[in-house]
Structure 1
């Protein structure tokens, strides 16, 4: 394991603890209001959200009210970019990789705005995920094809002084927390 990988592992442990400490403290509602406002500027474009796992902040109440198509990520396999399948609040869900639920009916769509989960983020706009590199590969692929906006969604407590990064790590365009939207 190289030094960046070791740094990321240590940062993940700290980030899990920080996120767990604020999970279910009622901060979701304020963050969701800011997320709804941030997404309003995009109109009815296709937005990718996510179905939260573990102690992730919950974007589903916002996703359910968006005017355009909404999709969620689906992991096609290790080392690959994410696919996105159409989601509705009443979609039948099945178990997907890593404990995430995915729509049973796999209608593929391409998002123009992504709500991105994370363990930690920094003031440069970098995020720390679970280590699979799925969002980094996906953002690189989507950005090469045209304009796309990636908005991280997290609690303020998940901010780190600096997230360790590699050359392949993709920055976010903004982060939404209970304090509001920050653009990078």
Structure 2
């Protein structure tokens, strides 16, 4: 009798495919900025939890700078020990950055803050608002602790798949923004 692959093995296989398919597109970060500011801007005064892009991730820096210029306070995550939610520290353009685990970067100093509106990285997404992350569960734990925060996934449109396998701890996104538009589940 054939066995069904476990949720984790299906996600691991999908991560390998998603990493291989992700290719940075010139100008995508600027296009993402325009899409979010036009179609899904955060509420006035919201404390934004962003992330510093790494590798081939869509470039969030143009968006972070534009939100800061519009008067939003911005915070970036510090990767905590496995099993813990992320901690966010304040960021402004010119903030000294420190290298984190897994190739991340975060503000070198600052007291923790709690974002109200989050820009969330992902490897793949579907139209239900499900996201495939890197496998550590950091954003799912963080979003579970911030149930009233708005979570917007950001990615290249090419990262969309028909269905992301999900389990009970996977927290859906409120929307996904790509260089072409916003998808609302």
TM-score for both structures, normalised by structure 1: 0.92
Look up the match of 1:132: 136
Deviations 1:67-124 (A, max 9, x none): 2110011112111011100011110011111111111112211100000000000111
Task: Determine if contact 2:132/2:164 at 8 Å carries over to the other structure.
Answer: yes
**May I ask how many residue pairs the two structures share in their alignment?**
178
SS of equivalent residue, structure 1 residue 152? strand
1:122-165 CA distance string (max 9 Å, x none): 1110000100000000101111xxx2100000011000111111
What does residue 159 of structure 2 align with?
Answer: 158
Of the structure 1 ranges 155-164 and 59-68, higher mean CA displacement relative to structure 2 is found in 59-68
Match of 1:32 in 2: 33
Instruction: Give the structure 2 partner of residue 168 of structure 1.
Output: 169
Aligned pair in 2 of structure 1 residues 41, 75: CA closer, same or farther (>3 Å)?
Answer: closer
- List alignment gaps of at least 5 residues for structure 1: none
Query: Residue in 1 aligned with 2:16?
Result: 13
Q: CA deviation at 1:39?
A: 4.9
Superposition map of 1:137-152 within 5 A: 137-143=141-147, 147-152=148-153
* Residue number in structure 2 paired with 1:74: 78
Task: Give the distance between the partners of 1:70 and 1:27, measured in 2 at CA.
Answer: 21
Task: Compute the displacement of 1:38 (Å).
Answer: 4.1
> What residue ranges of structure 2 are gaps of 5+ in the alignment?
none
Task: Measure the CA separation in 1 of the matches of 2:40 and 2:161.
Answer: 24
The TM-score normalised by the length of structure 2 is 0.91
Q: 2:77, 2:88 within 8 Å by CA — same for their partners in 1?
A: yes
- Considering only aligned residues, what root-mean-square deviation do their CA atoms show, in Å? 1.3
SS in 2 for 1:151: strand
